[in-house]
């Protein structure tokens, strides 16, 4: 069943993104008076064809759905057959350089516009997210050095020396604001509320390296969602947890006197105490008759497959219930936030790709169709908001990828047109052929790396 959901979600995602991208090319070509011969979703053998009696465009759905194309009237692609004189003004190659530029750029632009709309829909319809309550940070992390003890609710962020405070609505909102500041290696001031009032905390992000800016970015800073309840959801047979008497439903309040409300911090503490007795403060019973008990437990020492080191495990499954908030915006603000989120993600994608080229970021960040299908299925199961956000993210990635100055991609053609606009001369067919071969080699190499990463994630090697 999960495989079926993944395949359906993947098909919907790819179908929507390809249609939007190619319709961007098609619509601007029509506006510029260029005749479009074929609009194809997919490659290879046509499964469905229909010719518009009004425009003469052939609409096609082909057998291989991983992409699509718009074929326009062009003297260079007729195989030597002459084009009627009256049709020449509608040929793509007869258009001015800026019209050709606009037609080619319209595809990626359409992907960015789609992302803005999708994000705006998510912001306008509302989404439930973890509140910006922080757990007790790990020692020597930027959050700990800033003075956070855990339990504070971050309400605003601003640059250290200038700028207005930006309101923080949720954990996701906080993450995006800190991500932008980390890219610029800034110091920021976080305003946070606790039981004693509102205080300012100076967070130094100048030491954050490019390798730290990944999926675990907030963990590198020492930030984890807090303020919730950490509960035992399962106990493995013959485990340290069972021997110590932990049972399902126990609420973990502290470990060795350190308050705990976050699974990540709790697990990290247990891992660092292999074979060393620790004392858990456990809350048991219902709300009317709850009581606190101390449970002494010795984490079992096991070898970590990733690092080869001995780590501690207690054999308990944990569940975290963190405070959540319903985030909803008005129509205008939703569009503004959608545009900003799209811009931030596009800039992040470009920076990350550049760092992969110069070796500052791992090529493992590249993903292929298997990973996309996996995330499509997971986001679809989480609900409409998650799937729309995923679709917007992939749409941005597709737009950025197509704007890269690699021949055979839209960005390569745009580079040709810029050269033509500056020099007044069209890039020769000979050089275009050389660049296309080099560009094709780049695309094949990137595809191979992405497929390898997919397989590595799938079979864990």
Q: Would you say residue 46 lies in a domain?
A: no
What mean pLDDT is reported for the chain? 83
Q: Give dist(CA 150, CA 152) in Å, integer.
A: 6
Q: What is the pTM of this model?
A: 0.75
Alpha-carbon span 335 to 119, nearest angstrom: 8
Of residues 249 and 434, which shows the higher confidence score? Answer: 249
At 114-124, the pLDDT tens digits run: 999 999 999 89
Q: What is the pLDDT of residue 222?
A: 85
In a shared domain, residues 441 and 354: yes
As a whole number of angstroms, the distance between CA 128 and CA 229 comes to 18
The tokens for 95 are 């258009």
* CB half-sphere exposure, 402, CA atoms < 13 A: 25
**Cβ–Cβ under 8 Å, residues 398 and 111:** yes
The answer, yes or no, to whether residue 217 has pLDDT greater than 90, is no
Distance between CA atoms of residues 406 and 442, nearest Å: 8
Furthest-apart CA pair in the chain: how many Å?
91
Same domain, 203 and 295: no
Same domain, 384 and 283: no
In angstroms, what CA-CA distances link 259 with 150, 266, 278, 349?
9, 9, 13, 38
6, 22, 129, 224: the active-site residue: 22
The conformation of residue 309, written as its DSSP 8-state character, comes to: -
- Regarding whether 445 and 380 lie in a shared domain, the answer is yes
Regarding whether 156 and 120 lie in a shared domain, the answer is no
* CATH code for the domain of 274: 2.30.42.10
Q: Is 22 one of the annotated active-site residues of the chain?
A: yes
Cα separations (Å) of 26 from 38, 59, 387?
A: 9, 11, 27
- Tell me: the pLDDT tens digits for 304-341? 876 778 888 998 888 887 788 888 888 998 999 899 88
Of 194, 221, 248, which marks where a domain is finished?
221
Residue 243 sits in which domain range?
Answer: 229-316
pLDDT at 375 > cutoff 70 = no
- Is residue 184 assigned to a domain? yes
pLDDT at residue 206 tops 90: no
The yes-or-no verdict on residue 211 having pLDDT over 70 is no
Q: Do residue 370 and residue 264 come from a single domain?
A: no
Contact 61, 46 (CB under 8 A): yes
Residue 85 scores a pLDDT above 90 = no
Written as six digits, the tokens of 91 are: 């040929």
> In angstroms, how far is CA 337 from the centroid of its own chain?
16
Domain count, the chain: 3
Question: Please, which pLDDT band fits residue 107 given cuts at 50, 70 and 90?
Answer: very high
Measured CA to CA, the distance from residue 307 to residue 318 in angstroms comes to 23
**Across the strands, what pairs with 302?**
311
Separation CA 276–CA 139 (nearest Å): 19
Identify the helix (H) or strand (E) that includes residue 313.
strand 310-313
Query: 11-54 pLDDT, tens per residue?
Result: 788 888 899 999 999 999 999 999 999 999 988 888 889 999 98
For residue 186, how many C-alpha atoms fall within 13 Å in the half-sphere facing its CB? 18
- Work out whether the CA dihedral 245, 248, 251, 255 comes out positive or negative: positive
Q: Last residue of a domain, which of 195, 221, 247? A: 221
Tell which of 269, 292, 316 closes a domain: 316
pLDDT score of 339? 93
- Is the pLDDT at 176 greater than 70? The verdict is yes
Q: Which residue has the tokens 């908001």?
A: 385
Q: Which residue in 101, 68, 106, 83 sits closest to 35, CA to CA?
A: 83
Q: Which pLDDT belongs to residue 93?
A: 87
Q: Count CA within 13 A, CB hemisphere, residue 341.
A: 27
CA neighbor of 56 nearest in space, from 25, 15, 87? 87
Interhelix angle 369-382/384-403, rounded to 10 degrees, is: 150
On whether residue 119 sits in a domain, the answer given is: yes
- Domain match, 257 and 189 both: no
Confidence band, pLDDT 50/70/90 cuts, at residue 362: low
Tokens of 434: 């050389």
Q: Which residue in 457, 443, 434 sits closest to 66, CA to CA?
A: 443
């Amino acid at each position: 069943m999960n495989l079926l959901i993944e395949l359906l979600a993947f098909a919907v995602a790819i179908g929507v993104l390809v249609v939007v991208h190619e319709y961007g090319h098609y619509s601007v070509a029509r506006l510029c008076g260029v005749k479009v011969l074929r609009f194809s979703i997919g490659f290879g053998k046509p499964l469905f064809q229909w010719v518009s009696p009004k425009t003469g465009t052939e609409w096609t759905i082909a057998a291989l759905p991983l992409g699509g194309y718009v074929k326009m009237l062009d003297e260079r692609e007729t195989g030597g057959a002459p084009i009627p004189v009256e049709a020449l003004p509608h040929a793509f190659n007869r258009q001015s350089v800026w019209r050709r530029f606009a037609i080619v750029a319209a595809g990626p632009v359409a992907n960015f516009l789609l992302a803005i709309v999708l994000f705006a829909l998510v912001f306008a319809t509302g989404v439930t997210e973890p509140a910006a309550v922080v757990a007790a940070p790990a020692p020597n992390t930027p959050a700990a050095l800033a003075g956070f003890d855990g339990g504070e609710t971050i309400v605003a962020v601003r640059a250290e020396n200038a700028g207005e405070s930006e309101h923080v609505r949720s954990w996701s909102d906080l993450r995006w604001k800190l991500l932008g500041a980390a890219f610029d290696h800034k110091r920021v001031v976080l305003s946070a509320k606790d039981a004693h009032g509102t205080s300012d905390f100076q967070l130094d992000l100048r030491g954050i390296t490019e390798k730290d800016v990944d999926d675990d970015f907030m963990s590198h800073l020492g930030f984890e969602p807090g303020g919730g309840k950490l509960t035992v959801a399962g106990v493995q047979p013959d485990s340290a947890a069972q021997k110590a008497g932990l049972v399902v439903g126990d609420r973990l309040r502290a470990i060795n006197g350190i308050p705990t409300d976050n699974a990540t911090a709790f697990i990290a503490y247990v891992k660092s105490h292999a074979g060393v007795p620790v004392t858990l403060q456990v809350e048991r019973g219902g709300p009317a008759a709850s009581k606190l008990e101390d449970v002494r437990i010795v984490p079992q020492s096991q070898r970590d497959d990733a690092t080869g080191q001995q780590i501690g495990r207690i054999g308990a499954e944990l569940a975290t219930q963190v405070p959540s908030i319903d985030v909803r915006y008005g129509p205008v603000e939703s569009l503004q936030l959608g545009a900003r989120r799209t811009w931030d993600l596009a800039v992040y994608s470009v920076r990350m790709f550049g760092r992969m080229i110069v070796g500052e970021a791992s090529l493992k960040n590249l993903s292929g169709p298997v990973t996309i299908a996996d995330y499509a299925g997971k986001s679809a199961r989480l609900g409409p908001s998650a799937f729309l956000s995923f679709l917007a993210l992939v749409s941005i990635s597709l737009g950025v990828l197509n704007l890269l100055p690699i021949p055979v991609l839209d960005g390569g053609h745009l580079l040709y047109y810029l050269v033509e606009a500056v020099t007044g001369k069209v890039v020769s067919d000979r050089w275009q052929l050389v660049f296309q071969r080099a560009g094709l080699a780049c695309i094949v190499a990137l595809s191979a790396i992405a497929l390898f990463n997919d397989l590595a994630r799938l079979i864990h090697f």
